[in-house]
Amino acid sequence: MFKSTILNAAQAGAVQLQHFFDKKYTITNKEGINNLVTEADHAAEKAIIEVIRNDHPDHFILSEETGELKTDSEFKWIIDPIDGTVNFANGIPLCCVSIALEKNGQMILGAVYNPFMNELFFAQRGMGAHLNDKRIHVSEKTTVIKSCLVTGFPYTYVDSPNGPIQVFEKLVKQGIPVRRLGSAAIDLCWVAAGRFDGFYEHHLQAWDSAAGFLLVEEAGGKITDFEGNYYSPYQPHLVATNGKIHDELLAYVRGEK
């Protein structure tokens, strides 16, 4: 029942993305520069929540635009109606619907759907990670110097040493390819699929990473905070890798290399 709900909800959100994509719609700005929210975000969120509420009216919901819809349920749905809103608003089809289901603090389901590439990523705890029903696995690279990495930059930079630009500069000066797609959910899915060997970011919200976090784990990868602790989507720092380059990439991110 939960699997059908999450897949139906992802599809409902994706219908709205396709409806609004590359058309005229209302765009506003949240706190910070270029922190956009569009009419499509709200429409997709409404469609997703309707599916979930119809199937599970007593469940807790945390969604990027609406915030918390609290209940006493042990189940919490974590929703990003459009991850990659700036891409979406500029007609760049690197954006997606991201939905996760948490039970008593443990992520048990994750779905990330980019309808423009027809890519539906899905993971269920203990059942592996899949792309369009095909099992996926992380890559086999063993060193950062031979890896292809991905990162993102927060809208508001924290004034701290070894920040996003500093880490990026260290890596690219060594000739290590580091991409910036503009969607953390897609970044995580592409680590799970072995397209990227590692991903790091300095500031994310729970809805950015909750679904992709489970996909990386179920694909055989590793995901932690910057201290190497088991990852929680309720803190901002993330390093996700194939596991084989994890400690080395952590050292770069922490300024130890």
For position 26, what pLDDT does the model report? 67
Residue-wise over 181-202: b if at least 16 C-beta within 10 A, else e? bbbbbbbbbbbbbbbbbbbbbb
Q: Decide if domain 144-253 falls under CATH 3.40.190.80.
A: yes
DSSP string, 115-128: TTTTEEEEEETTS-
For position 3, what pLDDT does the model report? 97
CA distance linking residue 84 with residue 40, whole number of Å: 12
Parallel, antiparallel, or unpaired for β 75-83 and 60-63?
parallel
Neighbouring residues of 160: CB distance < 8 A, sequence distance ≥ 6:
none
For position 161, what pLDDT does the model report? 75
Nearest to 178 by CA among 236, 253, 128, 97: 253
Angle between helices 2-20 and 39-55 (to 10 degrees): 160
For position 157, what pLDDT does the model report? 65
Please state the pTM of the whole predicted model. Answer: 0.94
CA distance linking residue 73 with residue 209, whole number of Å: 22
CA distance linking residue 66 with residue 122, whole number of Å: 24
Domain residue limits, the chain: 2-136, 144-253
First vs last Cα of the chain: how many Å apart?
47
Decide: helix, strand or coil at residue 5. helix
List the pLDDT tens digit at each of the 257 positions of the chain: 899 999 999 999 999 999 999 876 665 555 555 555 678 889 999 999 999 999 999 999 999 888 899 999 999 999 999 999 999 989 999 999 999 999 999 999 999 999 999 999 999 999 999 999 999 999 999 999 999 999 998 876 666 778 898 999 999 999 999 999 999 999 999 999 999 999 999 999 999 999 999 999 999 999 999 999 999 999 999 999 999 999 999 999 999 88
SS3 per residue for 102-114: EECCEEEEEEEEE
Q: Percentages helix, strand, coil for the chain, rounded to the nearest 5?
A: 35, 25, 40
Nearest to 198 by CA among 237, 162, 121, 250: 250
The hierarchical CATH code for the domain 2-136 is: 3.30.540.10
Nearest to 119 by CA among 215, 53, 207: 215
250 Ramachandran zone, left/alpha/beta (phi>0; psi -120 to 50)? alpha
For position 159, what pLDDT does the model report? 66
Neighbouring residues of 183: CB distance < 8 A, sequence distance ≥ 6:
83, 84, 87, 94, 95, 96
- Tell me whether domains 2-136 and 144-253 share a fold: no
For position 78, what pLDDT does the model report? 98
CA distance linking residue 83 with residue 167, whole number of Å: 23
